[in-house]
Copies of this chain bind each other. A is one copy, B any other.
């Protein structure tokens, strides 16, 4: 029997839409990844009457409620006060948390303002939930038939409290298998429906129903998520290993990174490991490829030079390719000349040139773009020609991803011209 879990977000900022409620999706995803299903979400403002109504209602129907926001030091932060009222208890002063707050301010060479005292006032009998990165103390308390977990609105404080304090308590409370692992694969070039088809029978590989397969499409990338449950970490790892291997086999060259890793980080790490340096040349992508790589720690020794222009002749001039070679339609030959010249001009070991020719006319969903890209080293040049449809932004995002992903493929010895699902012939 699944517990009924609800999320209750508080605060005028989210209720009025001034802030997009990313905390809700974070909590729901994290709980889902741990096998805990959220069935109801409520959003209310900083208003005593409404908060009390929301707490009492959720307390009537839920088994557990995650409340987000309203733990701050200001007068419009009402969660502790209304939690006490809903639970029918008094607010009591927690000297231990007060001392923790004082230390927090001291460490930052600041004096604690008097109104922070409010953050140490918690409902009588509340269980404290540690917040190692802020002054808002989380807590758990019973209201009606539900266990309520109160969390801070600041995302990085919420994230840690959820991972370290709340999810373990929920798993223990509802007698879930104690070990869960979320394994993520990031790919570029496979659409969600094809990935769904490729992995259709995957859940059956774990015969005890302990595997959940999910996708999250955020163009141009697709995230494939495996949630594996087991009795302990060893059990999970043992069951997951052959399934991970199967996903790697089926999605193959399209997997660009796993778990917390990102495409640009994978590319940079290979370049760093080889002592390589990089020049990039962009047109319509406008610097978006460079902007993914250049600011990363470690990129200072790798990213030698990036050149951007919407004018092909100007691109040629900037890297030393004769203007006569840069007239007419964009071609992969042109991209190859540009990459080769940029590599020489900058003294880089590798150069990536991504040239995009947009269709004529106003922006529209049918607008297309032709992408000609080349990767040059001292020994070889690899090229890729592709056509994307879907309007200016869609093409710009797709071309940026394709540029970085072809560089990843080149560096990993994989074919750079494997057809992708977004491509039109």
Q: How far is the CA of A306 from the CA of B363 in the complex (A)?
A: 24
B309, A303: Cβ atoms under 8 Å? yes
Provide the bound-state CA to CA distance between A267 and B9, in Å.
39
- Whether the Cβ atoms of A314 and B304 lie closer than 8 Å is yes
Q: Which of A351-368 contact B (CB under 8 A)?
A: 363
Residue in B18, B32, B282 whose beta carbon sits within 8 Å of that of A17 in the complex: B32
Task: Establish whether residues A287 and B297, one from each chain, have CB atoms under 8 Å apart when the complex forms.
Answer: no
In the bound complex, CA of A93 to CA of B17 (Å): 36
Q: Evaluate contact between B308 and A294: CB separation under 8 angstroms.
A: yes
A156 to B375, CA, bound (A): 38
A114 to B39 Cα, complex, angstroms: 31
Whose C-beta in chain B lies nearest to the C-beta of A284? B295
* A304, chain B: closest CB distance, angstroms: 6
Asked if A24 and B43 make an inter-chain contact with CB atoms under 8 angstroms apart, the answer reads yes
- Residues B39 and A50 in contact, CB atoms below 8 Å apart: yes
Q: How far is the CA of A330 from the CA of B261 in the complex (A)?
A: 32
Q: Distance (Å) between the CB of A398 and the closest chain B CB?
A: 13
Q: Indicate if the CB atoms of B287 and A308 lie closer than 8 Å.
A: yes
- Within 8 Å of chain B (Cβ to Cβ): is A167? no
Q: Give, as a whole number of angstroms, the nearest-CB distance from A61 to chain B.
A: 8
Closest Cβ of chain B: how far from A7's Cβ, in Å?
8
Residues of B within 8 A of A32 (CB): 16-17
A54 to B, closest residue via Cβ: B40
- A44-B45 contact in complex given A16-B32, A22-B20, A28-B15, C-beta closer than 8 Å: no
The docked-state distance in angstroms from the alpha carbon of A20 to that of B314 is: 41
Residue A190 at the chain B interface, CB threshold 8 Å: no
Interface residue A214 (Cβ < 8 Å from any Cβ of B): yes
User: How far apart are the CA atoms of A299 and B308 in the complex, in Å?
Assistant: 12
Check: A38 CB closer than 8 A to any chain B CB.
Answer: yes
Most buried by B among A54, A288, A297, A396: A288
Q: Does A78 lie at the interface of the complex (its beta carbon under 8 Å from any beta carbon of B)?
A: no
Shortest A55–chain B CB gap in Å is 13
- The answer, yes or no, to whether A231 is at the interface (CB within 8 Å) is no
Bound: A40/B17 CA distance, A: 12
With beta carbons under 8 angstroms apart, the residue of B29, B40, B295 that contacts A42 is B40
Among A278-332, those with CB < 8 Å from B are: 282, 284-295, 297, 299-300, 303-311, 314, 318
The answer to whether A288 and B285 touch across the interface, beta carbons within 8 angstroms, is no
A214 and B303: CB pair below 8 A? no
Q: Is the CB of A18 within 8 A of B363?
A: no
Contacts of A115 in B (CB 8 A): none
Judged by a CB distance under 8 angstroms, whether A204 is at the interface is no
Q: Is the CB of A286 within 8 A of B297?
A: no
Complex alpha-carbon distance, A57 and B291, angstroms: 48
When C-beta atoms are compared, the residue in chain B nearest to A42 turns out to be B42
Distance in angstroms between the alpha carbons of A27 and B30 in the assembled complex: 26
A42-66 contact mask (Cβ, 8 Å, vs B): 1 or 0 = 1111010010001001000000000
Query: Which residues in B have their C-beta under 8 angstroms from that of A304?
Result: 309, 311, 314
Interface flags, A187-223, vs B, CB<8A=1, else 0: 0000000000000000000000000001010000000
Residues of B within 8 A of A40 (CB): 42-44, 50, 54
When the two chains form the complex, which single residue of B17, B295, B299, B307 contacts A285, counting CB atoms closer than 8 Å? B295
A38 interface neighbour in B16, B20, B57, B299, Cβ under 8 Å? B16
15 A–B contact pairs at CB < 8 A? A17-B24, A17-B26, A20-B22, A40-B43, A41-B42, A41-B43, A284-B294, A285-B295, A286-B292, A286-B295, A290-B290, A295-B396, A303-B309, A306-B306, A318-B346
In order of increasing CB-CB distance, the 8 nearest A-B pairs are: A287-B287, A286-B294, A41-B43, A287-B290, A17-B25, A17-B28, A17-B29, A306-B308
